[in-house]
Structure 1
């Protein structure tokens, strides 16, 4: 009897979805109503890993601090939703001569993935590139004053949920001390002091 009730409930849900009564999970609105903050954070982790996978030679990196906060309505009332922010710090030494090349690789990769470049800071001291995905995840890569590359991504507002630390494993041992850490891993290409070919 219980299995019959479950089958009937599933059939009713399928029928409701087919009639447009339920949000389409493939649309931005549908994803926001079905995803929670933890699922959003996991999606953000995947986007960051996809970004790192598009960089050759690969960079040495570790996770930065993750944060989350609630989303407020226009009148500052609670909405039952929140955002999560994930960060990755690059520990590869990227020479001043190669920083522009790395930023260019990242920008082209994001464009190829269909992301919209929303802003570029061409500052020589602290350049940055910012983008958004079609689902409104907001990405950025900034270069710190000692050449450290920091990636961050913030999710849209999703259903409130507790958010755990990233499950993806960094490819360098964890560093102690204040964040961000100074890059300390030499790479034959990214650390070279000549312009990229």
Structure 2
């Protein structure tokens, strides 16, 4: 009888030990390290074998080019088209802002429609609309995509401005924009003049 009891105890202990081997063990971060699905990662492998996130892989020049692309596509989507010129580019320690200034007169009666069309294009492009200011005189729309902020706003003299702000990326030099304005470039002129280009549509009702 005692021999049977000892055999049963040994068998039970062995079974528990084997069961413990099949359990997932928690690592130092508290996550399971045993078998199971592995969480996907967005990090990419650099040329030196290290891993880096998409934002870390981009430098300020690349961010400026991406901001230019966002602004180019937005302005091309506006119908009827408007004339624009480059505003100043500003840089921080790890970020860059590109600006565009609309030189076409947008009448007060058309301002909200203008911004609504821009916001519609951004939504269709999967941008996230973060805020909308429907002030009658100085309306604005603020959106975000891929960590970049982009905005359109009406300011003094009814002039429309676009801005695209990058997230923090690797520091680098930033060249002037390669995008060509569809009107006078006003190179070396700052601040730019008030809008003076008349549009049969957008300027309707303007003095």
Over aligned residue pairs, what C-alpha RMSD do you find? 1.9
Greater C-alpha radius of gyration: 2
Whether the 8 Å CA contact 1:23–1:33 is kept in 2: the answer is: no
SS in structure 1 of the partner of residue 95 of structure 2: strand
Structure 2 segments unaligned to the other structure (5+ residues): 1-39, 46-51
Whether the 8 Å CA contact 1:45–1:86 is kept in 2: the answer is: yes
Higher strand share: 1
Distance 1:62 1:41 in 2: 16
Which of 126, 129, 143 is 2:154 aligned to?
143
1:153 and 2:169 matched = no
Instruction: State the partner residue of 2:201.
Output: 189
Highest RCO, 1 vs 2 (Cα 8 Å, sep ≥ 6): 1
SS in structure 1 of the partner of residue 203 of structure 2: coil
1:23 and 2:43 matched = yes
Instruction: State the partner residue of 2:103.
Output: 91
Whether the 8 Å CA contact 1:103–1:129 is kept in 2: the answer is: yes
Structure 1 segments unaligned to the other structure (5+ residues): 1-19, 71-81
Whether the 8 Å CA contact 2:150–2:164 is kept in 1: the answer is: yes
1:48 and 2:71 matched = yes
TM-score (norm 1): 0.76
Aligned pair count? 160
